Amino acid sequence: MKFRLGSVGLMTLLGLCAPASSAQLVREMTPERIQEALAAGTAEPDRKHCYPMQFAPWPSHACVTTPWSRVAGFAAAAPQPVGLGDVPPGAIAPMIEVVANAFVQNGRVCSVKRVLVSRDGAQAIRPADVKLSSQSFRDRSGALWEGTAAVARFPLQVLDAPDAEVHVAYSNCKERKTRFPADIR
């Protein structure tokens, strides 16, 4: 069975909850690693496989995925068991994905304008590609708010510098920046 997931479905799947893991980053998705990630996702289908970005003092509206976490998330979201041949090639690509969501703050919609990574105070690293999607919010009074979310893909090498930071620029809100989570797998 082939199970495909678009960018909007991927953002819904990933949510803002991190998997419990203290393992090191998996840099190469061998068939054994893919099977391991599939088993982890199948074992915990209610877990969201995206590592939250902590933008203190604000709540987190972004998270990051890796090849391992995307495969685990794919297995968790599948309606029936999946195997090695069912995993979409994009899930195992050697990229990280920063998923940045729009949100409402003080009556204003904060839409994602751009996502960048910086290392060692050097020039910002632009994503290899960005997928934008619309998000809708309804408040308690029934008012509908529209915003823009983004999935920005970067090569795994951006994680090589220990001081790499993610910068998310929003319309109507301050830019937020933070380091990558330490428990990325």
Mean pLDDT over the full length of the chain: 81
Residue 66 belongs to some domain of the structure? yes
pLDDT, tens digit (0-9, with 9 covering 90-100), for 100-143: 999 888 888 899 999 999 987 677 899 999 999 999 988 788 88
Residue 185 belongs to some domain of the structure? no
pTM score of the predicted model: 0.80
Cα first-last separation, the chain: 26
Range of the domain at 130: 7-179
Instruction: For Cα atoms 94, 100, 106, give the angle at the middle one, nearest 5 degrees.
Output: 170
On whether the CB atoms of residues 64 and 96 are closer than 8 A, the answer is yes
Q: 121: which residues sit within 8 A by CB, 6+ positions away?
A: none
pLDDT, tens digit (0-9, with 9 covering 90-100), for 2-47: 333 333 333 333 333 333 333 477 888 999 999 999 999 988 877 7
pLDDT at 49: 82
pLDDT at 154: 95
Residue 184 belongs to some domain of the structure? no
Residue 18 belongs to some domain of the structure? yes
On whether the CB atoms of residues 159 and 25 are closer than 8 A, the answer is yes
Residue 2 belongs to some domain of the structure? no
Q: With CA atoms as reference, report the closest residue to 72 among 20, 22, 24.
A: 20
pLDDT, tens digit (0-9, with 9 covering 90-100), for 75-97: 999 998 899 999 999 999 999 99
pLDDT at 3: 31
Residue 61 belongs to some domain of the structure? yes
- Please state the domain count of the chain: 1
Q: Which helix (H) or strand (E) holds 114?
A: strand 112-118
Read off the pLDDT band of 57 (50, 70, 90).
low
